[in-house]
Amino acid sequence: MKAKSSGLIIGISIGVVIGVVLAIIGLLCFRLHRRRSQIGNSSSRRASTVPMRANGVDSCTVLSDSSIDTESARSSIHNGTSFWFGGSKKSHVVAASGILEYPYRDIQKATSNFTSTIGQGAFGSVYKAQMGTGETVAVKVLATDSKQGEKEFHTEVSLLGRLHHRNLVNLVGYCAEKGQHMLIYVYMSKGSLSSHLYNEKHDLLSWSLRVQIALDVARGLEYLHDGAVPSVVHRDIKPSNILLDQSMGARVADFGLSREDSRNASNIQGTFGYLDPEYISSRSYTKKSDVYSFGVLLFELIAGRNPQQGLLEHVELAALNTEGQVGWEEIADSRLDGNFDEQELNDMAALAHKCINRSPRKRPAMRDTVQVLSHIIKSRHNKKHYKRSPSDIAITIGQSDRQSSMDSRHRRVESLDSTADSIDV
């Protein structure tokens, strides 16, 4: 009897021990699985979003249309593989930024041994590169006289790689080999805004496209100022740094680079004509200095002339009659031949005039400019919606493809920006 009961006790004990061991194993398996799926989620989040903040404060405000564009998203998806160039196994990703490193020989091949020059800027030459995959990118080869070391270059690439927005010319890769530093960007097939404003080989930019370009640029800068962490000041906003994509969407280029412009011996960085006078006197560059340059760019879109052609003198003369508000039609680009909406032109000019105020404090923030420009486009759409007469419809049917693609872009803007109510800056 005693032997029977001790056998029972041993049996129960063994059962309990096995049960406990199984429970522990089950618990461990569960925790391991949960951790794996958390890691998976966080890395995919890292690849598809960028930390956001509003007004420099850590808050949850998400800017209206910040996103990774398709090209850069693909490079993130294909982490660790040679997606752009196909073939080479050497490419790898800079930690946490999703930016690919490419071997020199691949870029050499894609640029036909650096003969496919698109242009030359302060930082060096830019080449068009045709990849083995059929993709096209732009390769900026930084001048070798740059004082930047390897460590600084990699830091810069990591920072640039974190900036993603549909209105920025996003960085997708880099190369640091054979003493060369190269930055690889999304290719902007329609070239720069300055070529569209001043090169006669391009069609005249319509008024509605000019307003849309202004809004695109404002959104890109708003992201750099208020969305990026840490925030970024551009330091060289001007039409040659605004590039246009296949559908004439505008994107801000040349942001986030350490400025070592050898053309300016005075240590003043930026381009004369666009430079905030306050920065020239104080040598302190702020977000409001970018706002000043943006104001000059707005006037350039309105008047179709640049600072070297007396733009600002022209504006100041007109401002005497307008008190900053109405009557700006006299500065309108004569090539538009009156084909613009007077109200829109006055609203945009009044905004531009506020941006170039001598006092930085009185200039609007970029988010205010986004609201004003969104409102201009929104009002236009509402006017069209409610006041369409049969003759309007006939005109609309006769409009060019570009105009109709513009309209669909306007619809996109409205759906993205439901908060663009009227704002007085």
Ligand X SMILES: Nc1ncnc2c1ncn2[C@@H]1O[C@H](COP(=O)(O)OP(=O)(O)OP(=O)(O)O)[C@@H](O)[C@H]1O
Tell me which of 182, 243, 250, 349 binds ligand X, using CB under 6 A.
Answer: 243
* 248 counts as binding ligand X under rule CB under 6 A: no
Task: Decide if 136 contacts 188 (C-beta within 8 A).
Answer: no
Q: Token pair 């956001």 is at which residue?
A: 52
Residue in 106, 236, 254, 333 annotated catalytic:
236
CA distance 420 to 65: 13
* 97 counts as binding ligand X under rule CB under 6 A: no
**236 is annotated as an active-site residue:** yes
Q: What is the DSSP letter of 54?
A: B
Task: Decide if 236 contacts 259 (C-beta within 8 A).
Answer: yes
Task: Decide if 256 contacts 156 (C-beta within 8 A).
Answer: yes
Sequence-ordered alpha helix ranges (H) in 162-230: 193-198, 207-222
* 85 counts as binding ligand X under rule CB under 6 A: no
Stretch that binds ligand X, among 14-22, 46-54, 239-247, 297-305 (CB under 6 A): 239-247
Taking CB atoms, the residue at the shortest distance from ligand X is 121
- In angstroms, give the least distance from the CB of 250 to ligand X: 12
Find out whether 140 is annotated in a ligand binding site: yes
Q: Give the torsion through C-alpha atoms of 213, 218, 219, 225, to 10 deg.
A: 150
Task: Count CB neighbours of 63 within 10 A.
Answer: 20
- In angstroms, give the least distance from the CB of 246 to ligand X: 11
- Name every residue whose Cβ is closer than 8 Å to that of residue 389 and which is 6 or more positions away in sequence: none
* 172 counts as binding ligand X under rule CB under 6 A: no
Cα 379 from chain centre? 25
Nearest to ligand X of 126, 355 (CB atom): 126
* 127 counts as binding ligand X under rule CB under 6 A: no
Q: How many residues belong to the site for ligand X (CB under 6 A)?
A: 22
Stretch that binds ligand X, among 66-74, 79-87, 236-244, 275-283 (CB under 6 A): 236-244
Q: Give the torsion through C-alpha atoms of 399, 403, 405, 410, to 10 deg.
A: -130
* 252 counts as binding ligand X under rule CB under 6 A: no
Stretch that binds ligand X, among 185-193, 219-227, 358-366, 379-387 (CB under 6 A): 185-193
* 300 counts as binding ligand X under rule CB under 6 A: no
Tell me which of 191, 273, 324, 327 binds ligand X, using CB under 6 A.
Answer: 191
Token pair listed for 116: 């496919």
Do strands 136-142 and 242-244 pair parallel, antiparallel, or not at all (unpaired)? unpaired
- In angstroms, give the least distance from the CB of 82 to ligand X: 20
Token pair listed for 307: 């600072």
* 254 counts as binding ligand X under rule CB under 6 A: yes
* 126 counts as binding ligand X under rule CB under 6 A: yes
Token pair listed for 145: 């006289």
Tell me which of 63, 110, 138, 366 binds ligand X, using CB under 6 A.
Answer: 138
* 241 counts as binding ligand X under rule CB under 6 A: yes
* 111 counts as binding ligand X under rule CB under 6 A: no
Max Cα distance, the chain (Å):
116
Q: What angle do CA 86, 89, 92 make, to 5 degrees?
A: 100
Stretch that binds ligand X, among 143-151, 183-191, 341-349, 371-379 (CB under 6 A): 183-191
Q: Three-state SS for 109?
A: helix
- Catalytically annotated residues: 236
Which residues of this protein are in contact with ligand X, per CB under 6 A?
A: 118-123, 126, 138, 140, 169, 185-188, 191-192, 236, 240-241, 243, 253-254
Binding residues for ATP: 140
Residues of each annotated binding site: 140
